[in-house]
Structure 1
Amino acid sequence: MNNQNRLGFSLSVCISFLLLLQPFAGGATATLPRIISFQKGFTQLFGGDTNLLRSGDDNTVHLHLNQYTGAGFRSSDMYNHGLFSARIKLPSEYTAGIVVAFYTSNGDVFEKTHDELDFEFLGNIKGKPWRFQTNLYGNGSTSRGREERYTLWFDPSKAYHRYTILWTSSKIIFSIDNIPIREIQRTDEMGADFPSKPMSLYATIWDASNWATNGGKYKVNYKYAPFVTEMTDLVLHGCTSNPIQQLSTDNNNNNCVEMDKQLETIHYNNITPKQRAAMKRFREKYMYYSYCYDTLRYPVPPPECVIDPVLRQRFKETGRPNFDRRHRRHSRKRSHVLTFEQSDIRNSR
């Protein structure tokens, strides 16, 4: 990477962080999203002291996967809607069979009717890039998965990048470095498939050799262990909620009304025209599977799907790209394209 690209990258990281912390549109009295230390906001899920290591300032967590176990943590509280974010750096070199997950769920409380929102990062053999997927489930709708899979415009093992999930009563937005990559608008037809019950935030690294890389063809190779993912500057912003209390009384819902209003007006919830254009470009360039275009699985697209004619031409009936139709790539490097897209977003404030 030349000096100009290094400078551009550094500026984009700083700007993304500042945008995350900018005030709500609702006024100066609104609470700002803030970084939460591990001790204040999280609890260890599995892995032991040797697989989950915390920094001295308690703002960074290293999750290790070795031949004995992976590692994970969860938020101490559950949230009735919220903004969940972290800067993450993934393992490098040979990472086949590995899954790093950053997600919200309530499966521990609602085993058969759980809700979930996922960032799942899928490792690869040496020399091949990381891929990732986003997904959502509502009310245990695991038979109606809403997966999308993508590649990235950068190497996620070289530096930290910010990944954000915004969940409100009306929509869900997944973002990377302040670039929205996916938006799901709630529709009446979705019914209970739209996540509606309080969820915790989770982060894990684990061995998924049976499916993660080429359908299980390539397994985790522990010769390269330990595999380490780093997460820092964690943000939890939402109304803490007791799901049992929520089911038995309306008081909890009333207490969350003001926070829900804030989340509906937060910067991340209001995608500007230039951000929307950047999201469209990302989806056209880097999305390689979408359930909305998988006509074998869903002959009639689910009700929340907004069919893009450009993407419909690009995808086969399986939801994967039709490579016979793919357009010629520009000769300029991806880093150049990314710099252009980020400059659009910086100017869209």
Structure 2
Amino acid sequence: MQTSNGDVFVKDHDELDIEFLGNLEGKPWRFQTNMYGNGSTNRGREERYRLWFDPSKEFHRYSILWTPTKIIFWVDDVPIREILRKEEMNGDYPQKPMSLYATIWDASSWATSGGKFGVDYTFSPFVSEFKDIALDGCNVSDSFPGENNNNNIGNYNNINCSVSDQFLMSNDYSTISPKQATAMRRFRERYMYYSYCYDTIRYSVPPPECVIVTAEKNRFRDTGRLKFGGSHPKVHKTRKRRRRNRSTPVVSADL
């Protein structure tokens, strides 16, 4: 799932992504979030995670909040990533109108275990199913009559979305509560296995929006990946407890 405007702004498009990275049978599903602004595709801002459930078994809610000041990615009721806009980001923060897309594409060269395992086409056709899609925001469809229209830039500059922006920023989901912040921290401790903010080989100076959390950083190598054996804390269960349903989130906003 992604928001993008690449069909209109071909050379300087914006993009927000939630992408599944392939799956090996018996292994946790993996996915990533990413952000591009103004065609900054050479400055990827990927974070990668493991899921605590099998997304092919039942529906879950994946959400992106995008406002002029912040971006929040959600899985069900858990915020998993927050990006606060910094002045130093300049055009790297998405600012132009985008559309919502859902695609399936072959990323065998890099996605599953770094490209170690390619797509097995004996399982095709590949299908994704969605329901209860909700979009809130500023509808600018009439301002973009078609691709490669010479008036697109002018129309974009004349759009006023202040009312819808205020609506989004005044809703509860635009602010992470203390309980939700705890849930996000626990999610990132347990399931995040790569962050561009800690990839000092790729970025000797972290991009301006990065918030360096010392306890989080200490678990990662200079490649931005988890240190061997120093990954996520294990949860010990007593025998008397019922076995947790695998489709039930380990973390939630109610923790």
How far off its partner does 1:158 sit?
1.1
Residues 137 and 145 in structure 1, CA contact (< 8 A), matched pair in contact too? yes
1:135-214 mapped onto 2 (5 Å cutoff): 135-214=34-113
Deviations along 1:67-94, whole A, 9 cap, x unmatched?
A: xxxxxxxxxxxxxxxxxxxxxxxxxxxx
| Matched residue SS, 1:341 | coil
One-letter code aligned to 1:207: D
Equivalent in 271, 288, 295 of residue 200 of structure 2 = 295
Residue 252 in structure 1 maps to residue 171 in structure 2:
no
How far off its partner does 1:313 sit?
0.6
| Matched residue SS, 1:172 | strand
One-letter code aligned to 2:175: N
- CA–CA distance in structure 2, aligned partners of residues 234 and 156 of structure 1: 16
Identity %: 59
| Matched residue SS, 2:188 | helix
Residue 218 in structure 1 maps to residue 117 in structure 2:
yes
| Matched residue SS, 2:81 | strand
Identify which range, 225-234 or 113-122, moves more after superposition.
Answer: 225-234
How far off its partner does 1:229 sit?
1.5
Residues 79 and 184 in structure 2, CA contact (< 8 A), matched pair in contact too? yes
Residues 123 and 130 in structure 1, CA contact (< 8 A), matched pair in contact too? yes
One-letter code aligned to 1:149: R
Q: Which residue of 1 aligns with 2:174?
A: 269
| Matched residue SS, 1:218 | coil
One-letter code aligned to 2:77: N
Residues 22 and 111 in structure 2, CA contact (< 8 A), matched pair in contact too? yes
- CA–CA distance in structure 2, aligned partners of residues 157 and 327 of structure 1: 24
How far off its partner does 1:127 sit?
1.9
One-letter code aligned to 1:127: G
Q: Which has the higher strand share?
A: 1
How far off its partner does 1:155 sit?
1.2
Residues 207 and 220 in structure 1, CA contact (< 8 A), matched pair in contact too? yes
Q: Which residue of 1 aligns with 2:138?
A: 239
Residues 314 and 321 in structure 1, CA contact (< 8 A), matched pair in contact too? yes
Identify which range, 297-306 or 221-230, moves more after superposition.
Answer: 221-230
Residue 116 in structure 1 maps to residue 15 in structure 2:
yes
Equivalent in 230, 239, 246 of residue 325 of structure 1 = 230
TM-score (norm 1): 0.65
List gaps (5 residues or longer) in structure 1: 1-101
Distance 1:232 1:250, change over 3 A: same
Residue 341 in structure 1 maps to residue 251 in structure 2:
yes
- CA–CA distance in structure 2, aligned partners of residues 166 and 293 of structure 1: 24
1:124-135 mapped onto 2 (5 Å cutoff): 124-135=23-34
List gaps (5 residues or longer) in structure 2: 145-150, 238-242
Distance 1:245 1:252, change over 3 A: farther
- CA–CA distance in structure 2, aligned partners of residues 168 and 286 of structure 1: 26
| Matched residue SS, 2:34 | strand
Residues 53 and 249 in structure 2, CA contact (< 8 A), matched pair in contact too? no
Deviations along 1:273-329, whole A, 9 cap, x unmatched?
A: 000110011011100000000011111111100001111110011100112434651
Residues 106 and 200 in structure 1, CA contact (< 8 A), matched pair in contact too? yes
- CA–CA distance in structure 2, aligned partners of residues 145 and 188 of structure 1: 18
One-letter code aligned to 1:164: S
Residues 133 and 148 in structure 1, CA contact (< 8 A), matched pair in contact too? yes
- CA–CA distance in structure 1, aligned partners of residues 61 and 232 of structure 2: 30
Residues 123 and 131 in structure 1, CA contact (< 8 A), matched pair in contact too? yes
